[in-house]
Chains A and B, each alone.
Chain A
Amino acid sequence: GESVGLHLPTLSVQEGDNSIINCAYSNSASDYFIWYKQESGKGPQFIIDIRSNMDKRQGQRVTVLLNKTVKHLSLQIAATQPGDSAVYFCAEKHTGNQFYFGTGTSLTVIP
């Protein structure tokens, strides 16, 4: 199997601070990466994606950075809010149709 997502298992941040969640992947052939958010009792929810020909992509309050040299992906959440508390997964897709997911990082926002 593939190795995706050498995550820290938990991350705690103060409300209003920025959060950075990291992910490492092992397959240099991966061409597409996704970050998901999973709240308790729900399925993973798409946050943001990035293709392998990009280094950075920004969304609303979130930024994904891709460093292909060291096979590293990060998710930055600006001005973290209590509603951001969840488990965050990275996922990669090879040149094909299978997706591989990391084990996730549990983000806790402290009010």
Chain B
Amino acid sequence: EAQVTQNPRYLITVTGKKLTVTCSQNMNHEYMSWYRQDPGLGLRQIYYSMNVEVTDKGDVPEGYKVSRKEKRNFPLILESPSPNQTSLYFCASRRQGGNQPQHFGDGTRLSIL
């Protein structure tokens, strides 16, 4: 089954404790991206990657890091999480080239205390 898988689905942690949210897709997509979803603001793009070893900032990259060492994986790293990063996070992937829709994971709910 074609899918985007995120882990963990839920995480409660404390300020300053480094965390990583993993994202994996099995569709051989070149493009992957991370979004956060907050009430009243919709989905905002954090980072995206058009292929292995290529990453670019989205609209809200501050406080986040990403890496793209393999085509299927695109982890989101919060080196020193803060309460304003409490949010619902989505990873997405799509085929690069032309106009293609993104396929989303089921989300990771992060709470930073």
Contacts and interface: CB of A to CB of B under 8 A. Distances in A.
A36 B35 CA distance: 15
Given A46-B101, A49-B99, A49-B101, A99 B107 contact: no
Size category, A interface: 20 to 34
Nearest to B50: A97
Contacts of A36: 104
A56 B45 CA distance: 28
Contacts of B107: 41-43
The majority secondary structure among interface residues of chain B is strand
Which of B31, B33, B101, B106 has the most CB atoms of chain A within a 10 A radius of its CB?
B101
Contact of B42 (A49, A51, A98, A102): A102
B42 A5 contact: yes
Contacts of A4: 42
Contacts of B43: 44, 89, 91, 101
A111 interface: no
A98 B90 CA distance: 15
Interface residues of B, number: 25
Interface in A37-61: 41-46, 49, 51
A81 interface: no
B104 A44 contact: yes
Given A101-B43, A103-B42, A42 B99 contact: no
Contacts of B44: 1, 101
A53 B56 CA distance: 28
A98 B40 contact: no
Interface string A4-27: 110000000000000000000000
B103 to A, nearest CB: 7
Interface of A: 1, 4-5, 31-32, 34, 36, 41-46, 49, 51, 89, 91, 93, 97-104
Interchain residue pairs A-B with the least CB separation, the first 6: A43-B104, A32-B99, A101-B43, A103-B42, A46-B101, A101-B42
